[in-house]
Amino acid sequence: MRSLSVVVLIAASLIACGKPSPEQECQSIVNESCKKLFQCAPTQAQTLGYTSQSDCQTKQAQQLNCANAVASCNYDANAVNKCLSDYDALSCSATSAPASCSASTLCPGNQVGCSSVGSTSSGTGCTDTWSNCTDGHTYGASCDSISGAATCTCRLDGVAGKTFSVTATLCNGVSTSQAQPIVQQNCGYTFY
């Protein structure tokens, strides 16, 4: 059943985004893909090392790192739910995902999605980075302090750009999903 891999790719493209959190959407996608796998290909599920549907859900959620999911686009939550509903209605003989699961439907517009995020500290400073972006760029900001007020420098493909000040640094106790709008607003970047 090739459509299973399509749903896992959907999860990876949305992750790795007031709507359900990326963590919730990731888990919903994992739950649906495991349900369909055990419904349509239980022998294959066993071959893949899943002892049960719940074991599949736990292992896939860990593999996709759902607990730390970050949206790679400004996804349409209603479209994600429609995709999952249509996927659930697929017959086991289906060889592709429903049209409602296309990337352009789930992530409308010409958006830049980034599938990898990271935060690193060096000395007294830190850097938040968004990479593997659909436009080929890497976005980020480096701050000169990890506590209190800091001066941060925008980074596009590692090259320093304009600077801005923050009263609480991006890297100290602030998740990359919380840092994202701060970096976007101060640096003028548009990525998800």
Q: What is the pLDDT of residues 122-150, one digit of tens each?
A: 778 888 888 888 778 888 888 888 777 78
- Confidence class for position 176, pLDDT limits 50, 70, 90: low
* Distances, alpha carbon 156 to alpha carbons 55, 172, 184, in Å: 40, 21, 12
User: Could you give the CA distance from residue 129 to residue 139 in angstroms, rounded to a whole number?
Assistant: 6
11: buried, middle or exposed (CB in 10 Å: 19+, 13-18, 0-12)? buried
Predicted pLDDT at 145: 81
- Please give the Cα distance from 87 to 99 (Å, whole number): 10
SS3 call for 143: strand
Per-residue pLDDT averaged across 60-79, rounded? 74
Q: What is the pLDDT of residues 22-58, one digit of tens each?
A: 778 888 888 988 998 899 889 988 988 999 999 999 9
- For the CA atoms of 3, 62, 170, 172, what is the dihedral angle to 10 degrees? 180
pLDDT tens by residue, 78-108: 888 888 898 889 888 887 778 887 766 776 6
Q: What is the pTM of this model?
A: 0.52
Residues facing residue 126 across a β-bridge: 121, 143
